[in-house]
Structure formats: structure tokens, C-alpha cells
Amino acid sequence: MDTILVANAGSSSLKFELFAVGSGLTKLVKGHVEGIGTAPYFIVKDAGGDKIVDKRYSSSEVPDLSSAMHRVGMWLREQHEGELVAVGHRVVHGGAEYGRPVRVDRRVLEDLERYIPLAPLHQPNNLALIETLLELRPDLPQIACFDTAFHRGHDPVTDHYAIPAHFFAEGVRRYGFHGLSYEYVAGRLQEIAPDIARGRVIVAHLGNGASLCAMRDGRSQECTFGFTALDGLPMGTRCGQIDPGVLLYLIEQGKMSSSDLQDMLYNESGLKGLSGISNDVRDLLASEDPGAILALDHFVHRISLNAGSLAAALGGLDAFVFTAGIGENSPVMRERIATKLAWLGAQLDPMRNENGETRLSTDDSKVGLYLVPTDEELMIARHTHGVITESNSSL
């Protein structure tokens, strides 16, 4: 049995899924190693969602990402017979050059290292895992799948900033992210609501990272993210859209260093910064603290403002789709956001929303409201299978 491993490396975590390759792709197991270097624990669930591994380690046993990958690899070799034919990776930033999945070699890896400053929370860890596997298994195909690639077909007017034009040629442009999630949702919409999928749709990827994407006929037209993953909506710990003058002020008058400013914008802002309590929406919903109330009100407000902007970019709106952690799991937040979209013609059905049905809007709603769970790992597995199949057929 041939298998494909999908890996998503974070600063202190490693998520993975194993797929069997046959007439299609079948999910075998899903797991993660969290708390790497501090309090590591290893959890694996089978295809039905039942937990089959729940093991904790000392920090010295799993001190870094490389050792975590070694633990995962050992467990997979012991528990699953068959041949691992490729590893697919989520890589956040592919820049302007990489608009489709690609097999990674040393040259590609060096190219992608140039984008570390544009995605400092994600890119270093994505690439570190690839580097580790290149050393351990140099002949094993590794496929990089980019969060930016889905947005590469934009009209140039969408991706330019109003700064001297030569900066665009140097790569200072709007890229957009969460593309693997948006690509998966666009495909699912074609299956569950084909007429809607061909129309004007805003998809809201709402999790610890949050963004909106405007689509027409399943293709990205505009995204709230820009040059980096700081722009657009406020997120769990990231600021979202901010006046550049604020940053100049903090540097000049606040005497903040670039590293201090980066840490604040990426790790201490967003819901966490506004509330002073938590970056987790569940904690904020359970709190009566004024900071928690402000943070959630601000989050909903900015989503509604950006939805209006994207509806204008599309020339109208046929559907609004919720996905990712908050979008999939919080009826309260879906209701609050849908209320703000009423002016566009969206009417939420309370019972459908509470039950988490695929269609959330009333039958006579002018704008459809939908819930479509995302699956970035399956999207990566599909891309990985496509690249190796294409490569094999060209031999």
C-alpha cells in the first residue's frame, strides 16, 4: 500500500495526517505532537476519530521539531505497513514565483527562505521540517503546497500598493493567505451548491488566524490578507489592518525596536491584546469582562466592514460561507456576524445555525449563508498526489 504523509509544522507543534493512495485518497490516521521542547505530548486518532495514541514525553525526549518528526516517523513505520511515496507540506508563503505546488530540492528551499521575514510565525518551521527530511530521506519526494498560490490569479490592480511602482517588481505586493483552505471550500461548494459556487461568494476563514476571500466562479478575486499575514481582520494574537502611521509613531516616539514591534504585532495584539485576557474566542464568550466584550465586538465589526468591501469588489453577493475553528464551531459568533450582514440580504435561520447545518440561511434569504468545514490536509494530499503522479508519467 502506498501512502502520503501530510505535515504542518508550527513553532512548538507538528500536525500530520496519513493517507492511503488507491483509486482515491483514504485518510488512515491524524495526529499531532504539541508542546515540543516544554511538555511534549503525542496524540493520534484513527479515521473514525477514536484516540489510539495519547503519550507524554519529557522535554529532553522531544526537544525540537526534528526529534518530533523522528517520533512520528518511528510510530508510522511500526504501525503502518506499506511504502511512503511522498510528504506534502503546508508552506505559508510562496511569493510571486510559486503559484502551484512544487517538489522541493535545495534550490527551492533556498528560494523559500527569502520569505521568512514575511511569515515569521510559520515559514521557518515549515522549512525546518523539510530540511530535516531532506537530510534523513533525500530521495523521498517532498511537495510544498502554498497558502499564497490560490490568490495568484488576481488582477494587478488588486495586488498593487499605492507606493512607487518599482517596489511591486521587487516583490512588495499583496499576496493573500489561507489559500489551501479557500481552495478546498471552493471545491466543496461545487459539490453541495453548484449554482452558488459559480456566483459571487465570500468565504470567512475564522480561526486563530482569520481572513475573508472574495470568489467568483470558485476563483479568488480579493482577500483581506496582504503582503504578510498581519493584514486584514484582527486575529487571535495578530493586529489585522492598522494605519502605518501608528507603526512609525511607535518606532519614533515609543522607541520600539523592529523586533519588539514584530513581537507585539504578531504575538500580543488581536483578541489577546484588546481583551487583555485571551486569544481564544471561547474564553472571551464566557467572560463578562469589558475587555472581552470589546474584543469580540471589534472582531465582528471588522468582519462586517471587510465583507462590505469584498461585496463591492464582486459587484454584489450571492453567498457568505463560514469555515475554520470559530466559523465551524461557534453558533453564537455566526449569529453575530450574520446579523451584521442583514443589509446585504442575509437572513439566518436560528435552528439551522444551532444545529450546524450546511445551509444556515432561511429559504427566502437573498444571500445564502453556509457552513463548510475546511480540510487543508486533504487539499495538500491531493496536490501532493497530483505532483508525483505527473512526475511519474513524464518519466
The distance of Cα 334 from the centroid of its chain, to the nearest Å, equals 19
Interacting residues of 255 by C-beta distance below 8 A, sequence separation 6+: none
* Type of residue numbered 116: I
Core vs surface per residue 124-140: b (16+ CB within 10 A) or e: ebbbbbbbbbbeeeeee
Residue 176, phi-psi category: left (phi > 0), alpha (psi -120 to 50), beta (remainder): left
Strand, helix or coil at 275? Answer: helix
**Residues forming a β-bridge with 368:** 319
From the list 2, 54, 111, 147, the catalytic residue is 147
Count the neighbouring beta carbons within 10 Å of the beta carbon of residue 283: 15
Residue 155 designated active-site = no
Report d(CA 266, CA 307) in Å as an integer: 23
H/E element holding 319? strand 319-323
CA distances from 118 to 15, 125, 175 (A): 22, 13, 10
Strand, helix or coil at 273? Answer: helix
| Cβ 224 vs Cβ 211: under 8 Å | yes
Comparing CA positions, the residue from 168, 118, 134 lying closest to residue 7 is 134
DSSP symbol at 82 = S
Phi, psi of 377 (to 5 degrees): -65, -40
Catalytic residues: 147
